[in-house]
Amino acid sequence: MRSATPFAPAPIALYSVVIPAHNEEESLPHTVTGIYETFVREQVNHEIVVVDDGSSDRTWAVLQDLRRSIPTLAPVQNLGAHGFGRAVICGLNNIKGDACTIMMADASDSPDDAVRYWRLLNEGWECVFGSRFVKGGQVIDYPRVKLFVNRIANFLVRVGFNIPLNDTTNAFKAYRRTVIEGCRPYLSPHFNLTVEMPLKAIVRGYTWTVIPISWQNRKHGVPKLKISEMGSRYFFICAYVWLEKYFSRGDYRKKNELPKS
């Protein structure tokens, strides 16, 4: 599932991982160590930017301990207003890489899939989106109510934007830095950022492709997404990007550079 032929690839010198973390002291050691060991094995030059989003537990202390054994870990604290989207934006503001993937602190996302994203970005794709609901994808221990709501929400997004992507709400995606900058400003302070980023990238004309990925439910802590609080927020951001798609007359689309003579 691909948007168009990718442009001539520019090698990614540094691949950034952004992980928002709120009260994730139990999950972070396994999550960060797994990413680091996988990336080292696959020879991916990287940094891991974990954003402590106002945690009241030992999240920040755990990150300081992890820095002793994981030299690519670059923790930051979100000292402003909190929320999943705000934490991700804080992380994006602090990355040094040419490309970035967003992963969850609870180890639900596979580091091996993140490496596959990196390889496709190096082929020239500007965005790589994972789907848990295409052939080859997998979900493990997904709560039934959450799964039901997820499939309805993604169906409505797919129909409303006329796109083949069927897992827009999943945060685990990868973008070249040009996309991250080209889709600013970001308006979503909460989990609705997970749909704002890919939909803006698609509407603004960046190249993208989709691969199957796996997902497993957290082993520690409690989920941060509250479905009852997110319906109107998802609707708002989808309506905002939908209006851009159909009424902005292309004002925000990516400007392709002419080849140098």
Structural contact between residues 23 and 59, judged by C-beta atoms closer than 8 angstroms? yes
The pLDDT tens digits for 233-248 are: 999 999 999 999 999 9
- DSSP codes, 127-184: EEEEESSSTT-EEES--HHHHHHHHHHHHHHHHHHT-S-S-TT---EEEEHHHHHHTP
The pLDDT tens digits for 154-186 are: 899 999 999 999 999 999 999 999 999 999 999
pLDDT at 261 over 50: no
Mean pLDDT of the chain: 91
pLDDT at 259 over 50: no
What residue spans define the domains of the chain? 15-247
Average pLDDT over residues 19-25: 96
**Domain 15-247 -> CATH class:** alpha beta
Least confident of 8-12, 79-83, 193-197: 8-12
Q: Which amino acid is at 218?
A: R
Average pLDDT over residues 115-122: 97
